[in-house]
Structure 1
Amino acid sequence: MPFDIDAAAAALLDARRSGTRLDALPDGARPGSEADAYAVQDAVAGRLGPVAGWKVGAPSATATPARAALHADTIFDSETGICTLPASLFHLIGAEAEIAYRFGRDLPPQAGPYDREAVLAAVATMHPAIEIADTRFTVFGAVDPHSQRADQQNHGVLVLGPGLTEWRHLDPVTQPVRLTLDGTVLHDRVGGNSAVDPVRLLVWLANEGARSLGGLKAGQVVTTGSCTGTDFVTAPTRMVAEFPGLGSVALAID
Structure 2
Amino acid sequence: MTNSVQAVAAVLLQARRDHQAADAAGLETLLQSPEDAYAVQEQVGRSADWFSTGVPLHWKSGGPSRSAALTHAGLPPRNVFSSPADARGCPFHHRLIEAEVALRLARDVSPDDAAKLSHEDAATLVDGMTVSIEIVDSRWQQFPETSALLKLADQQSHGALVLGEWRPFAARDWSRQTCVVQIGQGAPASFRGSLSLGDPAWGLPIWLRHVTRQGASVPRGTIVTTGTWCGMLRAQQGDKVKVVFEGVGEAEVQL
Indicate which of 67, 70, 73 corresponds to 1:68. 73
Distance 1:209 1:173 in 2: 28
Would the alpha carbon gap of residues 232 and 184 (structure 1) be closer, same or farther in structure 2, given more than 3 Å must change? closer
Is the contact between residue 3 and residue 28 of structure 1 (CA under 8 Å) also seen in structure 2?
Answer: no
Indicate which of 117, 126, 130 corresponds to 1:127. 130
Shift of 1:27: 4.7
Distance 1:213 1:163 in 2: 29
> Are 1:148 and 2:151 an aligned pair?
yes
Aligned to 2:61: 56
**Per-residue Cα deviation, 1:13-71 (whole angstroms, up to 9, x for no partner):** 11111112111176598312112111111222223332121101111132121111112
Alignment RMSD (CA, Å) = 2.1
Aligned to 1:32: 32
Is the contact between residue 111 and residue 215 of structure 2 (CA under 8 Å) also seen in structure 1?
Answer: no
Aligned residues: percent identity? 30
Shift of 1:121: 2.0
Is the contact between residue 135 and residue 161 of structure 2 (CA under 8 Å) also seen in structure 1?
Answer: yes
> Are 1:199 and 2:207 an aligned pair?
no
Would the alpha carbon gap of residues 45 and 172 (structure 1) be closer, same or farther in structure 2, given more than 3 Å must change? farther
Is the contact between residue 30 and residue 147 of structure 1 (CA under 8 Å) also seen in structure 2?
Answer: no
Aligned to 2:88: 86
Shift of 1:138: 1.3
Distance 1:178 1:32 in 2: 39
Long gaps (5+) in structure 1: none
Would the alpha carbon gap of residues 106 and 9 (structure 1) be closer, same or farther in structure 2, given more than 3 Å must change? same
The amino acid across from 1:120 in the alignment is A
Would the alpha carbon gap of residues 115 and 27 (structure 1) be closer, same or farther in structure 2, given more than 3 Å must change? closer
Is the contact between residue 103 and residue 224 of structure 2 (CA under 8 Å) also seen in structure 1?
Answer: yes
Would the alpha carbon gap of residues 150 and 25 (structure 1) be closer, same or farther in structure 2, given more than 3 Å must change? farther
**Which TM-score applies when normalising by structure 2?**
0.89
Would the alpha carbon gap of residues 190 and 44 (structure 1) be closer, same or farther in structure 2, given more than 3 Å must change? same
The amino acid across from 1:52 in the alignment is L
